[in-house]
Amino acid sequence: MKLLQRQSSWFFYFLPALIIYIVFTIFPIANSLRMSFFQGSGFNLDTFVGFENYRRLFFDPLISENFWNAFGNTWVFFLVHMLVQNTLGILFANLLLAQTGKWGSFYRTMIFLPSTLAILVTGFLWKLLLNPQWGVITMIAAAIHPELAQPWLGNSESALITISLISSWQWVGIPTMIFLASLQSIPNDLFEAAAIDGVTWWQVFWYIKLPLVRPIIGVVAILTFTGNFNAFDIVFAMAGINGGPVYSTDILGTYFYRIGIAGEHPVGIPNVGLGATVASLVFLFLFLGVMLIRVFTRERN
Amino acid sequence: MAKLKKNISIGAIIRISILSLWSLLVLLPLWIMIINSFKARVEIYRSPLNLPTSFDFSGYLSVFQNSSFLLYFLNSIIITFASIALILLVTSLASYAIVRWKNRIASLLSVFFLAGLLIPLRIGSIYLLQLSKTLRLIDSFWSLLPIYVSMGIPIGVLVLTELIRRVPTALYDAARIDGASRFGTYLRILLPLIQPGLATVAIIHIVLFWNDLWFPLILIQNESQRTLMLGISHLFGQYQTNWTRILATLTLGSFPVVIVYVLMSRQFIAGLTAGAIKE
């Protein structure tokens, strides 16, 4: 009996973390899911409406246009990160693997440096740099090729890609370090054996490294997906809360903020039920996305 | 043999060029930010890439003299450190129990905590806003405290259980024979042993909390309660034309985290990457 008591008193070591975690993580997320089925005035959601919020978000022309626009833009944002940020990450990791010594750690520090900046600082800084009035980037771009000197953030065709590229500039250090760590864990004799067999660099990459880092690609894809579907700060800093020009950079994060928290133009009153619905959908996308990525990148025998 | 050597050197040249080019792409914007924060407005426009002809501290002076920068800076320091201290306390206690309590509840709770790694708390923002209003925490930066602590629990548990698992059982037995209580063992033996893990957890969250904009933005309206990032977010509206001042503020705002990074980049990178890899 005494032993049992002694054992169960372990529970008190859990208690502080458990209470905080339940009240401020589990509860809010569960409640956001629940609130997506309700409507009311302000935070007083008293009317159960079933899937009405979802229907409005998907089909009500007044609301759905912005939702689908933000949804599509988020995919573009995500794809640019996958193509640019994560491809560069694999490239840099391979280069850093060969670059040892002092310079190796210098380059590593440089590649990771932007990831330590606040997204807000990155966004504001690049917004200034890209400002045609100041023209730092315009000046440098014009020196490379006159066609490159354009108001990249001002055009609705190029603004989203520009913002995605700057976000990739900031975060490329994370996939680089993850890939580097996994490449460093590949035993050296594998490369030595390959070198003796006269295998080319590309073959080593394609047949040895890539299959071995395959699960890690999954991890990176999941991180990118989760990060991008919750992104907010970079668009807020560079294009404002409406994802300008004309909603061309509006992503789910900014859309969620407007509709659920700040209030969408021109009404200006947040619709808490719809906001909760957007949050629930993001939750659903994340769940499905993570599942899919796991299936595709699982280790194969 | 000669051919092989030549190949290697060409490879090295390509490698170094790519890495140097990227380093330049990283340093150039930061360089422009820092040097121009010491220039008068005319000079910012005329020669943005050059060193200032004479150092102009007016941007920094105006940041410190007639703005709430120092107040926001202090608010950010208080909330960041308070949150991290609590995270370290509650997650080290919980991790101790997860490793030492040989019970199914312990492993279930461990899975329960780790599930939080995959769910960004932003999804619960609407309810958190409501909750903060109910608890009358709204408009104070203290409303961020429980949210940040909660955000830190999954990573904290992940990193610390990993480390505590490596502590040999013999050590606990020895402590018990010496008459140390369970809590005494935690305090005097375990905590000193897991210091590197505590540092990792702290570093990850310094970056996350110092740089966070989302939660201050939705929870804090009161001007005197703003965190630094929330203060900076109002920068463009207020000082649209004073670029010296904007650049000085951005430089000062990124300074603390970048300094910590440069001083301990190894632990920093390891910390920020750890969570991802072990997932």
Instruction: Report the amino acid identity of residue A187.
Output: P
Q: Any idea how long chain B is? A: 279
The predicted-structure confidence for A69-79, as pLDDT tens digits, reads as follows 999 999 999 99
Q: Any idea how long chain A is? A: 301
Residue B238 pLDDT > 70, yes or no? no
Q: Which residues touch B128 (CB under 8 Å, ≥6 apart)?
A: A24, A28, B121, B147, B215, B218, B219
Residue B272 pLDDT > 70, yes or no? no
A112 located within any domain: yes
Tell me the C-alpha distance between B212 and A172, whole Å: 19
Of A36-50, A136-150, A262-276, least confident by mean pLDDT is A136-150
Rounded to 5 degrees, what angle do the CA atoms A75, A68, A84 make? 15
Kindly state the average pLDDT of the residues A114-138: 88
**pLDDT band at residue A4 using 50, 70 and 90 as cut-offs:** low
Confidence (pLDDT) at B5: 52
Element (H, E) at A20: helix A11-21
The predicted-structure confidence for B53-89, as pLDDT tens digits, reads as follows 888 888 899 888 877 899 999 999 999 999 999 999 9
8 Å CB contact of B250 and A124 = yes
| Overall domain count for chain A | 1
**In the 8-state DSSP scheme, what is residue A247?**
T
Confidence (pLDDT) at A146: 79
Cα-based distances in Å from A30 to A26, A222, B121, B268: 6, 22, 11, 33
Pick the CATH number of B67-233 from 1.10.3720.10, 1.10.287.1770, 3.40.190.10, 3.40.50.2300: 1.10.3720.10
Instruction: Report the amino acid identity of residue B256.
Output: P
Phi, psi of A48 (to 5 degrees): -75, 125
Mutate one of B13, B26, B73 to test the A interface: name it (highest A CB count within 10 A): B26
Q: Is B34 on the interface with A (CB under 8 A)?
A: no
Task: Report the helix count and the strand count for chain B, using DSSP H and E.
Answer: 16, 0
Establish how many alpha carbons lie within 13 A of residue B277's alpha carbon, considering only the half-sphere containing its beta carbon: 21
Bridge partner list, A48: A38
Parent domain of A182: 70-246+278-297
Residue B226 pLDDT > 50, yes or no? yes
The predicted-structure confidence for A23-64, as pLDDT tens digits, reads as follows 999 999 999 999 999 988 777 788 899 999 999 999 998 889
Task: Give the residue among B58, B81, B80 at the shortest CA–CA distance from B249.
Answer: B58
**In the 8-state DSSP scheme, what is residue A177?**
H
A120 located within any domain: yes
Residue A15 pLDDT > 60, yes or no? yes
Instruction: Report the amino acid identity of residue B153.
Output: I
A265 located within any domain: no
8 Å CB contact of A182 and B277 = yes
Quick one: how far is CA A186 from the chain centroid?
28
Residue B179 pLDDT > 80, yes or no? yes
**pLDDT band at residue B2 using 50, 70 and 90 as cut-offs:** very low
Look at B11 and B228; give whichever has higher pLDDT.
Answer: B228
Chain A neighbors of B130, CB-CB under 8 A:
43
Establish how many alpha carbons lie within 13 A of residue B144's alpha carbon, considering only the half-sphere containing its beta carbon: 30
Residue B277 pLDDT > 70, yes or no? no
Tokens of A248: 């061309």
8 Å CB contact of A107 and B19 = yes
A54 located within any domain: no
Residue A5 pLDDT > 70, yes or no? no
Q: What is the CATH number of the domain that holds A134?
A: 1.10.3720.10
Kindly state the average pLDDT of the residues A220-242: 93
